Chain A
Amino acid sequence: MTDDYNLIEFAPMKRYEFINHTADLGLKIRGSTAPELFENAAWAMFDILVDLRGVNCREQRELIVESEGWDELLADWLRKLLSQFNGYGYIFKTFKVEKIDKFRLQATVCGEKLNLKKHRLKTEIKAVTYHGLQVKRDVRGWQAQVIFDI
């Protein structure tokens, strides 16, 4: 990240970008639409947790999340996915937000159970924090920032 950080901030192919947070892990995420933003955010979280190259889509899950605002919806969506990982050992790599509204989303996610012989875990994410949490709509589409406690 240099002084022209702004210009490279959302290079077209990047679904997310790190924000330099001293102790934890901050992300900026972008999407042209709200569903894409939420899909990219979910993908980013699993990309940090595990090497997604070794993960296949074997099991599908339907998830519904409801919240009190856009920011909270993003946090709750990520929290729900993280609890699928922490509680049941699921890692997901594809995310399709079927429906999103104020402030409810319905999504289909796909992945498989963690198998340490096959999958490489990267970074432990302790939690999705509310610190600096933000979902915004601007001329270029949707963007969000979230900080994980790692």
Chain B
Amino acid sequence: MTFKSKGRGHGDFPEAKGLAWPVIQGFAMNEFVFKKIDDYRWEIPPVEGMRVPGRFYADFKMLQVVKKDNTPLQVKNVAHLPGILKYSLAMPDMHWGYGFPIGGVAATDPAQGGVISPGGIGYDINCGVRLVRTNLELSQIKSKLPSLLSTLFSRIPCGVGCTSNLHLSQSDLRKVFVQGARWAVRQGFGSQEDLERTEEYGAMEGADPDRVSPMAYKRGKNQVGTLGSGNHFLEIDLIDEIYDDLVATVFGLRKGAIAVIIHSGSRGLGYQICDDYLAVMRRAVLKYNISLPDRQLACAPLGSPEGQDYFSAMACAANYAWANRQVMMHWTHQVFQRVLNLSPRELGMELVYDVCHNIGKFEKHLIKGEKKLIFVHRKGATRAFPANHPQVPEIYRKVGQPVLVPGDMGTNSYVMVGSELALKESWGSTCHGAGRVMSRSKAIKVARGRSIEKEMEKKGILLMARGRGTIAEEMPEAYKDIDQVVEIVEKAGLSRKVARLRPLGVIKG
């Protein structure tokens, strides 16, 4: 049962220190032959039922880490999806997930029996990130940072199963499902300008509240405006490096300024919708005679009733997540005003952009010289459209879409910008974060006897969290080095660095 690969490098990653990955039954490690395309592109050829090759964006060193878990197998499995186009893709932050790898991107063609797979979007539908800029400088908040954090911590519910003081009726929820962040703005949470700075303008089309189960409604009614737990966070950052002055200026970012990052998703509502529809897809694969190597990839043709119903429900969850982040941003704004005793004008808090990184979307892409409507799954991947793309909001159109790459607590985050190459190669997609290298149980073991809070404090980062377990699970060592991931993304040409953010204070569930 024990697995030990030959010649495993006991390198930088604690996970690799003499510990073997136990084999997951039915997922015995396969030997993959990686074909080098260039220093940052690797491919596995289509074998055994794969409809397209698998492509990995990684450097040699990272590929060695990736090979140790089940990511290559998952990339291979995704290549079995009916109607998949060109490649089963893995972004540089790739790691082992369930169904799709995290960092997985796959597009399917509705005209060729292409499918929609809930496992290619994930349980946390529209998990995403928003970045808020301010006029503030470090000196203005330094002494008030603890009070800012603790006020945010008490204002924004976080932690396992946390609930909001916004209780929504059935009819309110239906509005949230369709209007997303627009609903929040109409209720007074934020301003009209925020919508222009949100992917899909804060509301995806095609949402149908009648496709959402009663249980999902039940779970959704009191979680708008909640952070949740796990890797979600709200962070106060210092912009400590600018790589592209022009683009940074357009995004409203300058060195030495304070910014806020909010990372959260659709909470219990999204998990329930995914779970409900995976059960539907279990039957659909039999009905449509789809054979897949992993049940978590269960799917249905985009044109089928099952596929359409899931899409309509998924869009409801996506819109709910945008409303959720919009409400949290508004509360954050209020806390900053109150604690710092500054006017909105003095604060200059403005949304830079809001991106989702667990989503499926109909998008127009160029295929063999022809613009076609296809369906893009992004599981732990961010859209990264280039300058002049019609989907990029007008304010950013001349430079490209802001791409937000959050690090984990205690590590840097990056703002990048979309590229033409990403549009050509990866359906306009890029990485979404650092990606884990250590399992959560392993992280808890490694953290035993240490105070991660104190270690972070030494690095100048204040941390407030509900659960001690979360802190250990989410400690910086559990993640890949984000600086490295971003470097690979840039060298591969998937997006360009614009700014680096260093955390000063983090609240977590």
Contact = CB atoms under 8 A, between A and B. Distances in A.
Interface stretch (A22-30, A38-46, A58-66, A93-101): A22-30
Given A22-B69, A132-B24, A134-B25, A124 B98 contact: no
Given A20-B442, A23-B102, A127-B275, A145 B159 contact: no
A54 interface: no
Contact of A1 (B22, B69, B122, B159): B22
A2 B97 contact: no
B295 A131 contact: yes
Contacts of A145: 24-25
A150 B230 contact: yes
B295 A127 contact: no
Contact of A20 (B26, B95, B268, B439): B439
A133 B99 CA distance: 11
Contact of B159 (A20, A24, A121, A149): A121
B215 A83 contact: yes
Contacts of B98: 24, 129-132, 147, 149
B246 interface: no
A114 B298 CA distance: 33
B124 A5 contact: no
B381 to A, nearest CB: 14
B95 A6 contact: no
B218 A20 contact: no
A72 interface: yes
A131 B441 contact: no
Interface string A98-128: 0000000000000000100000011110111
Contacts of B124: 126
A78 B411 CA distance: 36
Contacts of A126: 123-124, 230, 271
A65 to B, nearest CB: 12
A47 interface: no
Interface string A1-39: 111111001000000001111111110000000000000
Nearest to A116: B161
A129 B396 CA distance: 39
Contact of A87 (B15, B97, B119, B218): B218
Nearest to A149: B123
B284 to A, nearest CB: 13
A3 B20 contact: yes
A9 B230 contact: no
Contact of A123 (B22, B96, B160): B160
Contacts of B37: none
A72 B298 CA distance: 13
Interface string B146-164: 0000000000000111000
Contact of A124 (B24, B95, B160, B275): B160
Nearest to A133: B295
B24 A26 contact: yes
B99 A131 contact: yes
Contacts of B453: none
A5 B278 CA distance: 33
A56 interface: no
B317 interface: no
B410 to A, nearest CB: 18
B330 interface: no
A26 B296 CA distance: 14
B272 interface: yes
A96 B469 CA distance: 30
A22 B436 contact: yes
Contact of A130 (B272, B298, B436, B440): B298
Contacts of B102: 23
B143 interface: no
Interface in A72-95: 72, 79, 83, 86-87
Interface string B63-103: 00000010000000000000000000000000111110010
A131 B119 CA distance: 10
A26 B272 CA distance: 20
Contacts of A25: 439-441
Given A131-B294, A131-B296, A87 B219 contact: yes
A128 B469 CA distance: 20
Contacts of A22: 69, 95-96, 436-439
A137 interface: no
Interface string B10-28: 0000010011111011110
A75 B19 CA distance: 29
A115 to B, nearest CB: 12
A150 B275 contact: no
Nearest to B97: A23
A23 B1 contact: no
A129 B215 contact: no
A5 B25 contact: no
B99 A86 contact: no
Given A124-B160, A124-B230, A5 B271 contact: no
7 contacts: A20-B19, A23-B96, A129-B296, A130-B98, A130-B296, A150-B230, A150-B440
In order of increasing CB-CB distance, the 5 nearest A-B pairs are A131-B98, A130-B295, A131-B296, A121-B160, A129-B98
Given A22-B96, A26-B24, A79-B275, 6 more contacts: A3-B4, A5-B2, A18-B441, A24-B98, A130-B298, A131-B99
